[in-house]
C-alpha cells in the first residue's frame, strides 16, 4: 500500500519515497472531488453530519497525505523530492482554490447557517460555519465566473513562486563554503565552533576548517572571529543570498515583484484596496493603519534606548577595538565584546551550562508543573536518525499529544525554527484523535563526543517553538477546523510561544535545567545575575530592527505599488530612514531572504510577533504576580488559552485568562523600555 494513502496513524516516514507522491495525491483528489459531487447532488437540507463532517473527513485525508510530503521537503530536501513536490504543489493548490470558489458549496454552508440546526450547534461548530462563510467570500466564491479562472490562476502561480523562493534561498545558502587552512585566521573563535568546522571539513574531505552560511556556522563566526576581513566576506555572502550577485536561477528579485503583483491583484478582485486589508480580514488587527500606528508608537518608545545603545557601541568599538567605523559585519562582534566587558561574561561561557539533555529535562519540568501533564520518550517512524519522539500524558496517564523533535541543522533542511502540525485533535467515530506536532530547529549537532550545547538564545528559541507545540497539543476542542492552532488569528498565534520564552529568564527554572558540559556544575547564581543584568542589552536596537521588518512588510502590502517602477529595496530604504539607526551597506539584499513574508505565510503579518508580544508579556505578568511556576495560574492559561484553540476570538481567550484586555506596559517593562521612554513622552 502507498504509505501516503495510509492516514490511519503516524506518517510512515521510513517508507515514503518520491514515487509515492503523485499517485497518492491523484487518488485523494479524485476521491475528494467525487465526494463533493455527491454532497452537491444531495437535495436534502445540509446538516452538520450529512454535509460538514464528510467534507472535513475528506480534506483531513488530503492534509494527512500531502502534509508529510511538505514536511520532508523542508527537512530532508533532495532533488527528487523537490521535483515531485513542486510538480504536485499546483495541483493541491488548485484543489483548495476550487473549493474556496465553489458557489454551490458556499450556498450549502449558507443554508446550514440559516437553518434551525445552527442554533443547536456547539460554539466551536458555529465558529467553523462562520469562518467558512468568511473564507468562501475570501476564496472568490462570489466572483463572476470570468474572474474565477483568473483568481484560480493567481493561487496556483503564487504557491509555485513561494516554493521557488524557498528553494532558491536553500540552494544559495548551501552553495557557499569557506575553507580556512591557517588556524591563525580563526583567532577569537571558541574551541567548540572550531571543532565543528574541523569535523565539517573532514566530512567534506577537505583540509582545515569549513564554514557555511548555516546559522550554527555563520553566527558564531560573526560574533567571535577577530578576523575582520573574514567577517566581511561571510557577511557579504550571507546578505546577498538569492540575489543578482549569484547564480541567476537563484535570484529571488523577480519572484518578489511577481508575488507582490499577484497579491495586489487578488486583493483587488475581492474588493479590497490592497493585499494588507485582505490579510487582516482573518486577523485581530482591524486595519493596516492600526498596525502602522501601533508599530510607530512602539518605535517612538524604543528610539531613545536604541540611540543610547548605538552611541555606546560605536564609542566602545572606536576606543577599545580600534574600529573608527562600525560596519554591519562588526556589529555582532563589537556587541559581544561590549557585553563581555560590561557584564563580565560571554555567551560562549553561558553555552557550556546548557547541554541538550539538561535543557530538555528542564523545559519538560516547567511544562509538567504548569499544565499538569507528563512527557516521556516514545517511538515512531522518523525521517532522520537524529529525530526523537515523545508522548504527552494527562493527570490520569492518558495520552493527549505526541511530538517529533528535530533539533540540528543539516544541508537538506531549510533554515530557522518552526512548528507544524502532523495530526490535529478531533472526535472521530466516538474516539478522540491524538494531536501530533513537528518541532524543528537548526542548532549545532554534538561534536567531539560531547552532548550538544545551546546558547541561551537557542534555549529561548526551543521554548518558543515548544509553546507553539503546546498550543496545538493541549487543545480540548474536538472539531478539527478550530482545534489547536487551527482557526486562531495569525497575529495571536505567537502568544503561547512568546509566553514560554519568559521562563528562560527565571532563576527557579534555569538552576534546574543547567549542567556544565565538563564539570557538571549548575549555572552559578553570579553568572545568572550577570545574564539578567544583560537581558535588555541593546533591546532598543533589537526592537527597532523588528519594527523595521514589520513596517517594511506592512507598507509593502498596503501602500507599495509593484507596477510603479519603485523597487522593493527603495521602499526598504525609506522605512529604514524612518525607524532604523543601523543602516546596512548598499549591497545588502535582505528582502531576497525574507522567507517569512515571501514563502512563509507572514505577508502583511510580520507585525504579529510584536503584537502577540504585548499579549504574552501581559499574560506572563500574572505568573509574576502569582508565582513563576504556579500550577493554578498554569491551569488557567491551559484552560483559557491553550485548550481553547480557535473556537472563539483570541481576544476573548485573553480576557478570559487575564480578566481584562492587554496593554503595552508589560511589554515595555520586560524589554527595559519604560523609564526613559516615558520621560521622553
Q: Is residue 665 domain-resident?
A: no
Q: Is residue 662 part of a domain?
A: no
Looking at the structure, tell me whether residues 184 and 286 fall in a common domain.
no
For residue range 560-583, what is the model confidence (pLDDT) as tens digits? Answer: 998 898 999 999 999 999 999 999
442-467, pLDDT tens digit by residue?
Answer: 999 999 899 999 999 999 999 999 99
**CA 460/CA 509 separation, integer angstroms:** 12
Number of domains in the chain: 4
The answer on pLDDT for 239 being more than 70 is yes
In a domain, 201, yes or no: yes
* pLDDT, tens digit (0-9, with 9 covering 90-100), for 116-140: 999 999 999 999 999 999 999 999 9
Q: Classify 154 as helix, strand or coil.
A: helix
Cell numbers for 297 = 508608537
The C-alpha atoms of residue 492 and residue 475 are separated, in whole angstroms, by 15
Positive or negative: CA dihedral 635, 641, 646, 652:
positive
| CA proximity to 491, closest of 663, 645, 611 | 611
Please check whether residues 210 and 185 belong to one and the same domain.
yes
What is the four-CA torsion angle of 520, 526, 528, 529, rounded to 10 degrees?
A: 180
CA distance 338 to 316: 7
Q: Are residues 52 and 136 in the same domain?
A: yes
- 136 and 21 within one domain: yes
Q: Are residues 220 and 315 in the same domain?
A: no
What pLDDT, on the 0 to 100 scale, is given for residue 675? 63
Whether residue 132 sits in one domain with residue 8: yes
pLDDT at 676: 47
φ, ψ for residue 152, nearest 5 deg? -65, -45
Do 393 and 473 share a structural domain? yes
| pLDDT score, position 552 | 98
Query: Which DSSP symbol is given to 642?
Result: I
Confidence grade of residue 665 (pLDDT, cut at 50, 70, 90): confident
Asked if 412 contacts 77 with a C-beta cutoff of 8 angstroms, the reply is yes
Q: Does 167 fall in a domain?
A: no
Helix (H, G, I), strand (E, B) or coil at 436: strand
Could you say which DSSP state residue 245 is in? T
Could you say which of 240, 269, 285 is where a domain stops? 240
**What is the average pLDDT across 657-675?**
88
**What whole-number distance in Å separates Cα of residue 440 and Cα of residue 71?**
10
Counting Cβ atoms within 10 Å, is residue 445 exposed (0-12), middle (13-18) or buried (19+)? middle
The answer to whether residue 402 sits within a structural domain is yes
User: pLDDT grade, residue 681 (50/70/90)?
Assistant: very low
Closest by CA position to 346, among listed 335, 357, 362: 335
Q: Is 33 contained in some domain?
A: yes
Collapsing DSSP to helix, strand or coil, 219 comes out as helix
Q: Which has the closest alpha carbon to 96: 52, 37, 32?
A: 32
Grid coordinates belonging to 615 = 499579549
Mean pLDDT calculated for residue range 222-243: 98
Chain-centroid distance of CA 202 in Å reads 33
Helix (H, G, I), strand (E, B) or coil at 374: strand
Q: Residue 203 to residues 196, 199, 633: CA-CA distances in angstroms?
A: 10, 6, 49
Q: Which residue has the cell 499529544?
A: 401
DSSP 211: E
Question: Are 10 and 436 within 8 A, CB to CB?
Answer: yes
Going by C-alpha positions, the residue among 110, 122, 95 that lies closest to residue 27 is 95
The yes-or-no verdict on residue 348 having pLDDT over 50 is yes
Residues 87 and 211 in one domain: no
CA distance readout (Å), 346 to 337, 666, 675: 8, 28, 27
Q: What is the pLDDT of residue 183?
A: 97
Confirm if 158 and 257 have CB atoms less than 8 A apart.
Answer: no
Catalytically annotated residue among 465, 478, 489, 613: 465
530, pLDDT greater than 50: yes
Q: What's the pLDDT at 155?
A: 94
The whole-angstrom separation of Cα 230 and Cα 222 is: 9
- Is residue 485 a part of any domain in this protein? yes
The 10s digit of each residue's pLDDT in 383-428 is 999 999 999 999 999 999 999 999 999 999 999 999 999 999 999 9
Of the pLDDT bands very low, low, confident and very high (cuts 50, 70, 90), residue 673 is confident
| DSSP letter string, 282-315 | TSS---HHHHHHHHHHHHHHHHHHHHHHHHHHHH
The C-alpha cell at 348 is: 560562549
> Do 137 and 8 fall into the same domain?
yes
Q: Does 117 qualify as catalytic in the annotation?
A: no
Residue 678 pLDDT exceeds 50: no
Residue pair 383/363 in contact (Cβ under 8 Å)? The answer is: no
Domain boundary pick from 100, 117, 142? 142
User: Under a CB-based contact definition with an 8 Å cutoff, are residues 409 and 444 in contact?
Assistant: yes
Could you tell me the three cell numbers for 410? 543539516
* Residue pLDDT, tens place only, 12-44: 999 999 999 999 999 999 999 999 999 999 999
* pLDDT given at position 200: 96
Whether pLDDT at 485 is above 90:
yes
Residue 526's SS3 state is helix
Are 76 and 40 part of one and the same domain?
yes
Q: Where are the alpha helices (DSSP H) in 76-144?
A: 79-101, 103-114, 123-138
CA distances from 621 to 357, 376, 528 (A): 29, 30, 21
Classify strands 418-423 and 399-408 as parallel, antiparallel or unpaired.
Answer: unpaired
Helix (H, G, I), strand (E, B) or coil at 68: helix
User: Are 84 and 11 members of one domain?
Assistant: yes
pLDDT at 658: 96
In a 3-state reduction of DSSP, which class is residue 489?
Answer: coil
Closest CA to 509 of 623, 418, 396: 623
pLDDT mean across residues, the chain: 96
CA distance 527 to 540: 23
How remote is the C-alpha of 204 from its chain's centroid? 31
d(CA 524, CA 515): 10
Among 455, 489, 523, identify where a domain stops. 489
Contact indicator for 643, 475 with CB cutoff of 8 Å:
yes
Other Cβ atoms closer than 10 A to 659 = 9
Based on C-alpha coordinates, what's the Rg of the chain? 25
Q: Whole-angstrom Cα distance, residue 415 to residue 407?
A: 11
CATH number at residue 419: 3.40.390.10
Main-chain phi, psi angles of 434, to 5 degrees: -75, 125
CATH number for position 262: 1.10.1370.10
Say which CATH number the domain at 35 has.
1.20.1050.40
Structural domain contains residue 527: no
Instruction: Report the distance separating Cα 26 and Cα 2, nearest Å.
Output: 12
Given a cut of 80, whether residue 188 has pLDDT beyond it is yes
Cell numbers found for residue 328: 554591519
Q: Cα separation of 83 and 98, whole Å?
A: 24
pLDDT tens digit sequence for 57-88: 999 999 999 999 999 999 999 999 999 999 99
Residues 414 and 315 in one domain: no
Q: What is the pLDDT of residues 614-654, one digit of tens each?
A: 999 999 999 999 999 999 999 999 999 999 999 999 999 99
Residue-range definition of the domain harbouring residue 401: 356-489
**pLDDT value, residue 409:** 95
CB 639 within 8 A of CB 477: no
Within 8 A by CB and 6+ apart from 1, the residues are none
d(CA 625, CA 63): 42
Amino acid at each position: 500500500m502507498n504509505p501516503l494513502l495510509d492516514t490511519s496513524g503516524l506518517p510512515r516516514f521510513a517508507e515514503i519515497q518520491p514515487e509515492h507522491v503523485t499517485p497518492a495525491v491523484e487518488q485523494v483528489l479524485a476521491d475528494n472531488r467525487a465526494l463533493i459531487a455527491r454532497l452537491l447532488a444531495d437535495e436534502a437540507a445540509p446538516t452538520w453530519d450529512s454535509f460538514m463532517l464528510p467534507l472535513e473527513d475528506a480534506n483531513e485525508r488530503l492534509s494527512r497525505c500531502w502534509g508529510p510530503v511538505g514536511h520532508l521537503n523542508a527537512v530532508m530536501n533532495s532533488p527528487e523530492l523537490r521535483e515531485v513536490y513542486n510538480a504536485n504543489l499546483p495541483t493541491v493548490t488548485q484543489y483548495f482554490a476550487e473549493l474556496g470558489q465553489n458557489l454551490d458549496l458556499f450556498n450549502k454552508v449558507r443554508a446550514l447557517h440559516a437553518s434551525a440546526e445552527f442554533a443547536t450547534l456547539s460554539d466551536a461548530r458555529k465558529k467553523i460555519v462562520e469562518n467558512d462563510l468568511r473564507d468562501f467570500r475570501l476564496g472568490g466564491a462570489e466572483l463572476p465566473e470570468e474572474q474565477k479562472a483568473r483568481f484560480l490562476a493567481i493561487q496556483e502561480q503564487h504557491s509555485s513562486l513561494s516554493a521557488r523562493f524557498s528553494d532558491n534561498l536553500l540552494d544559495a545558502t548551501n552553495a557557499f563554503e569557506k575553507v580556512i587552512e591557517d588556524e591563525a585566521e580563526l583567532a577569537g573563535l571558541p574551541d567548540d565552533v572550531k571543532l565543528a568546522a574541523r569535523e565539517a571539513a573532514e566530512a567534506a574531505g577537505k583540509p582545515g576548517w569549513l564554514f557555511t552560511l548555516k546559522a550554527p556556522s555563520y553566527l558564531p563566526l560573526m560574533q567571535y572571529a577577530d578576523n575582520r576581513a573574514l567577517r566581511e566576506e561571510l557577511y557579504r555572502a550571507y546578505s546577498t543570498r538569492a540575489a543578482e550577485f549569484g547564480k541567476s536561477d537563484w535570484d529571488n528579485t523577480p519572484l518578489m515583484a511577481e508575488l507582490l503583483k499577484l497579491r495586489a491583484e487578488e486583493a483587488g478582485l475581492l474588493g479590497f484596496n490592497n493585499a494588507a486589508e485582505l490579510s487582516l480580514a482573518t486577523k485581530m488587527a482591524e486595519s493596516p493603519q492600526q498596525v502602522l500606528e501601533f508599530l510607530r508608537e512602539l518605535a517612538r518608545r524604543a528610539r531613545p534606548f536604541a540611540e543610547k545603545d548605538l552611541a555606546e557601541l560605536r564609542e566602545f568599538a572606536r576606543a577599545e577595538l580600534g574600529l573608527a567605523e562600525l560596519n554591519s559585519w562588526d556589529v555582532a562582534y563589537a556587541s559581544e565584546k561590549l557585553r563581555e566587558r560590561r557584564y563580565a561574561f560571554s555567551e560562549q561561557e553561558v553555552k557550556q551550562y546548557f547541554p541538550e539533555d539538561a535543557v530538555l529535562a528542564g523545559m519538560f519540568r516547567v511544562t509538567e508543573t504548569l499544565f499538569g501533564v507528563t512527557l516521556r520518550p516514545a517511538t515512531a517512524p522518523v525521517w532522520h536518525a537524529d529525530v526523537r519522539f515523545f508522548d504527552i500524558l494527562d493527570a490520569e496517564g492518558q495520552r493527549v499529544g505526541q511530538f517529533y523533535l528535530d533539533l540540528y541543522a543539516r544541508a537538506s533542511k531549510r533554515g530557522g525554527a518552526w512548528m507544524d502540525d502532523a495530526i490535529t485533535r478531533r472526535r472521530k467515530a466516538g474516539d478522540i484523535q491524538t494531536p501530533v506536532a513537528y518541532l524543528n530547529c537548526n542548532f549545532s549537532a554534538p561534536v567531539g563526543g560531547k552532548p550538544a550545547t545551546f546558547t541561551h538564545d537557542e534555549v529561548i528559541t526551543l521554548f518558543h517553538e515548544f509553546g507553539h507545540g503546546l498550543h496545538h497539543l493541549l487543545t480540548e476542542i474536538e472539531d478539527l477546523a478550530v482545534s489547536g492552532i487551527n482557526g486562531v488569528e495569525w497575529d495571536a498565534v505567537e502568544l503561547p510561544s512568546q509566553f514560554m520564552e519568559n521562563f528562560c529568564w527565571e532563576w527557579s527554572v534555569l538552576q534546574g535545567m543547567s549542567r556544565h558540559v565538563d564539570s557538571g556544575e549548575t549555572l552559578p547564581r553570579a553568572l545568572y545575575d550577570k545574564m539578567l543584568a544583560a537581558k535588555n542589552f541593546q533591546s532598543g536596537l533589537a526592537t527597532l530592527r523588528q519594527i523595521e521588518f514589520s513596517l517594511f512588510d506592512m507598507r509593502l502590502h498596503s501602500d507599495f505599488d509593484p507596477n510603479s517602477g519603485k523597487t522593493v529595496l527603495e521602499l526598504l530604504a525609506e522605512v529604514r530612514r524612518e525607524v532604523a539607526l543601523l543602516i546596512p551597506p548598499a549591497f545588502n539584499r535582505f528582502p531576497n531572504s525574507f522567507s517569512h513574508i515571501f514563502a512563509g505565510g507572514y505577508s502583511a503579518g510580520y507585525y504579529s510577533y510584536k503584537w502577540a508580544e504585548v499579549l504574552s508579556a501581559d499574560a506572563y505578568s500574572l505568573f509574576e504576580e502569582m508565582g513563576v511556576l504556579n500550577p493554578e495560574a498554569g491551569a488557567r492559561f491551559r484552560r483559557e488559552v491553550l485548550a481553547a484553540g480557535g473556537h472563539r476570538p483570541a481576544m476573548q481567550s485573553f480576557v478570559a485568562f487575564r480578566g481584562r484586555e492587554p496593554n503595552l506596559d508589560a511589554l515595555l517593562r520586560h524589554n527595559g523600555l519604560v523609564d526613559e521612554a516615558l520621560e521622553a513622552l
